Amino acid sequence: MSEIAKFVHHGAAKVTALTLRKVHKKLPLLKVEFAQINAPKFPHLVDQLEFLADVVEDYAEGKADELPLTAAAESVFALAYAHRQLDLIPDSNPDYGYADDSSVVRCVLMEHERVFADYAQQHGLSWSKITVKP
């Protein structure tokens, strides 16, 4: 298992129902924040974050009960990590500031690719647009 996967699993293990509710409540603001990300080296990051935000929203509202709890918890962790002001690599770094955010998000997408692809199809979303590429 990669170090980033261990990091994601460790972080997601700390996600509680309260954490889920807090992130769910902040989703409108997070979506605006994520839409403003300018990361040309990570062109899929905004779409990937928006997808995970939709997953968390639907899960919290009982519209995606088919998703495993681990997929929801890891999605919550990825959103919270991307929102953090103190990253492993500061977002202010013009070339690689979003590398850590992208790695965490892609790890979550890859770990749950099958269930997320099914979710995307059920909700009329293009999984190929979301992709697991940087």
What pLDDT is attached to residue 90?
63
For the stretch 70-107, what's the b/e string if a residue is b when 16 or more beta carbons lie within 10 angstroms of its beta carbon?
A: bbbbbbbbbbbbbbeeebeeebeeeeebbbbbbbbbbb
Of 71, 70, 79, nearest to 120 by C-alpha is 71
Question: Does 87 have pLDDT greater than 70?
Answer: no
Domain ranges across the chain: 3-130
If pLDDT is split at 50, 70 and 90, which confidence band does 27 have?
very high
- Contact 34/64 with Cβ under 8 angstroms? no
Interacting residues of 2 by C-beta distance below 8 A, sequence separation 6+:
107
Max CA separation in the chain (angstroms): 39
If pLDDT is split at 50, 70 and 90, which confidence band does 85 have?
low
Question: Does 116 have pLDDT greater than 80?
Answer: yes
Tokens representing residue 46 in the block? 């905004």
Higher confidence at residue 23 or residue 90? 23
Tell me how far apart the terminal alpha carbons of the chain are, to the nearest angstrom.
19
The stretch 97-114 carries a mean pLDDT of: 93
